[in-house]
Structure 1
Amino acid sequence: MILSFVEHAGGSPEEPSLEALTLARELATATDAPLEVVAFGTEASALGDTLRAYGVETVHRVADDRLDTYAPEAWAESVAQLLDATDPEAVVAPGTDRGQEVLAHVGAKCDLPMAANCLDVELSEVYELSRQRWGGSLVEHARLDSDTKLLTAAPHEFSPETAVEAADTSVQPFEPTLDESAFRVSVDRVEESDESGVSLGEARVVVGGGRGIGGPEDYDKLETLADSLSGTVGASRAAVNEGWRPHDDQIGQTGTKISPDLYVACGISGAVQHMVGCKGADNILAVNTDPEAAIMQKADYAVVGDLHEVVPELNNALADER
């Protein structure tokens, strides 16, 4: 059996979990094993309706009201106990902060190796895999050999795909035995961001600004361009460090990793940490006065020019189209 860890919002699976589920189904198909998932929260019961299209045969809903909020050690202990009860061939989690943390705890509790941020897995006597290291600047080829393999799917590397045939999915409660000490760390509240509009990680078009923008007031022209393209605005670490944009807008290794259809990078040099965050973009358009800037070499399209002249011209052209 292949087990996949699914994060959800109100019973609707998050996209990174569907990406991980696609990898898990590939492993299940290759080993002729059933595909099952584990999920937390009372609303996880609703997952069966969606996940049958992805070939999931069983949803193990962890039944403990204390686990409706995130508690990393308690969640990991629950998964570890489920592993004891079901003995899966592998456990696949999304490469999110939560997915990485839970599976790392599981590995420590069960004395199992874990491979994070996997890009590809080939089956032989052991799992031959490639995975991202150093924030995506290095691809490592490794072998994963254990009774139960633990791995996470690198974000934006697997497209969520439904199964050829839907499954007859059942939802089964799983009741772990948990000590209160497992709840030493837990989420006590969630505060919604004041920002409106599409989030940076989900936007299909992102317009980014770096140190070359010049100041916070000059982001207005980027906002106009993003609005015209039904996108959102991001920033480089340098711009965030200057205080021109909030950290929520930061694109890069220590910010948000984006995978839009189009990324328009304005006044951004293209340091490796930034490129880690935007390499998932289908197309990159760079605007920079320096033709030798790193991002100009990696962009699909490049405009050598002053962004303060180029971006207003783009805005005017798009306004004329409307």
Structure 2
Amino acid sequence: MTTVLILLDDPAQAADLAPQARGLGERVDAVIITDDPAHTDPVGPGTVSAGTVEAAGACGVGRLYVTRHELLASYSPDAWAAVVAELVDRIRPEGVLATAGTRPAEVLAHTAARLGAPLATHCVHIDDGAQLDDSAHVGHAGFPDTGGTGRGAGTETWRITRTRSGGVLLEDADLTAPVRMATVAPGCTVSGARHPDEPADSRACEVVDVVPELSPGDARVRLVERTEGERGLSLSAAPVVVSGGRGVGSAEGFTALEELADALGGVVGCSRVATSNGWRPHRDQVGLTGTKVAPELYIACGISGATQHWVGCMDSTVILAVNTDPEAPMMQRATYSVVGDVHEVLPAILAELGRRRAGGSSAATTPDSATPDSATPEPAVPDTSAPDASSQGSADAVSGLPARGT
């Protein structure tokens, strides 16, 4: 019976991972390693709640491995990886799946390093139907090539499609190893012998306690403190993001961006340059090594638009770029572009927003507004569904400024 092991750092992940694993194997086992007391019973570390076990069983998980060790009390990527590697050696699954989140991906990367095995990340599709011929066997450390037969042959292949360069590219590849490891992106599809959408077998989930063999060196890197983040709108959920880059010039230069973000009900973001220069904290960084955002409006102020930043904001509904360089990549890709100095354009936008709001509030006192047939006209909102070349450079979408750019 083929088995696929899923790694859970949150029990809720079983609802997505278990159906995907069912498409790749006949049996689904899960290992839960968590430092969150919300997922455990008060009896002590290493005991999960009855609700967690029931939910796992409902998803088709046949066996739930629950770890128990004092070195697992806080998150440690090396220690967690040691647990997964030990289970892989113990149960020899066909594959190991985890979500593409930060912690699961980090743990599987450490696991792959320990096993000398390949890891495919950010998969959007996995097909288990591919098989390599006898001339293409690949052996891996810990799983010796046995010449084409047996569990160590290395002939089993998953054909995968995964995102690269932050989602800009899709790559097709063959993942060949006795134990294949992959992280799956949200919405990942699976093609296998059994369709992942088939109902899970109705069975009780067996709970197996695991006391791994760990040494203090396995936990040399660990989480030592949690601090509560700032309350309010988060960068990833904000409907409007006003980001600044090198063109803002200094930490003080972000004052105008903060004022504009407040006026539009949004938050401030930044490029990697702004973070590297100490102008903004890393939590504000948008991009491949920061946060990916998809707001209704993204305003890029003094940002050139390098690939690592573009992949973090390219899903925005509308992008307005402000830059002195009309040839900057961000200016070429934006929905609207304004050629100008950020410190001149943003004050003009703020002044125009203030004028329009003041005009709207005073309109009720004008003689014309007293008549039932008259109404204060709403500011024109451009159609951004398919902007043509003539829309580039128009600032009317935000402030009514005359077109100045490309």
Same fold (TM over 0.5): yes
CA distance in 1, matches of 2:293, 2:60: 28
1:312 aligns with 2:343: no
Counterpart residue number, 2:218: 183
Q: Secondary structure at the match of 1:234?
A: strand
Give the deviation of 1:150 after TM superposition. Answer: 0.2
**The one of 271, 283, 295 aligned to 1:248:** 283
Give the deviation of 1:302 after TM superposition. Answer: 1.5
Counterpart residue number, 1:292: 327
Query: Residues 297 and 105 of structure 1: is their aligned pair in 2 closer, same or farther, counting only changes over 3 Å?
Result: same
Give the deviation of 1:64 after TM superposition. Answer: 2.5
CA distance in 2, matches of 1:310, 1:34: 63
For each residue in 1:45-95, what CA deviation from the matched residue of structure 2 results, as whole angstroms up to 9, or x when unmatched? 247279559835354322224312122222112112222444333212233
CA distance in 1, matches of 2:19, 2:333: 31
1:145 aligns with 2:176: yes
Q: Secondary structure at the match of 1:60?
A: strand
Query: Residues 112 and 267 of structure 1: is their aligned pair in 2 closer, same or farther, counting only changes over 3 Å?
Result: same
Calculate percent identity across the aligned residue pairs: 32
Counterpart residue number, 1:38: 31
1:48 aligns with 2:52: yes
Query: Residues 247 and 59 of structure 1: is their aligned pair in 2 closer, same or farther, counting only changes over 3 Å?
Result: same
8 Å CA contact 1:72, 1:185 repeated in 2? no
8 Å CA contact 1:48, 1:170 repeated in 2? no
Give the deviation of 1:269 after TM superposition. Answer: 1.7
- Unaligned 5+ residue runs, structure 1? none
8 Å CA contact 2:242, 2:261 repeated in 1? yes
For each residue in 1:292-311, what CA deviation from the matched residue of structure 2 results, as whole angstroms up to 9, or x when unmatched? 33123333x22425441564
1:73 aligns with 2:78: yes
CA distance in 1, matches of 2:77, 2:126: 27
**The one of 244, 255, 258 aligned to 1:223:** 258
1:131 aligns with 2:162: yes
**The one of 83, 88, 92 aligned to 2:88:** 83
Q: Secondary structure at the match of 2:279?
A: coil
CA distance in 2, matches of 1:56, 1:90: 16
1:269 aligns with 2:273: no
Query: Residues 114 and 213 of structure 1: is their aligned pair in 2 closer, same or farther, counting only changes over 3 Å?
Result: same
1:108 aligns with 2:113: yes
Give the deviation of 1:143 after TM superposition. Answer: 0.4
Counterpart residue number, 2:397: none
Q: Secondary structure at the match of 1:308?
A: helix
AA paired with 2:71?
Answer: R
- Unaligned 5+ residue runs, structure 2? 41-47, 131-156, 190-196, 362-406
Paired positions, count: 308
**The one of 20, 27, 30 aligned to 2:20:** 27
Q: Which has the higher helix share?
A: 1
**Relative contact order, CA 8 A, sep 6+: which one is greater?**
1
**The one of 282, 292, 312 aligned to 1:257:** 292
Q: TM-score, structure 1 length as denominator?
A: 0.76
The structure number with the bigger radius of gyration is 2
CA distance in 2, matches of 1:85, 1:128: 25
Q: TM-score, structure 2 length as denominator?
A: 0.62
CA distance in 1, matches of 2:357, 2:65: 52
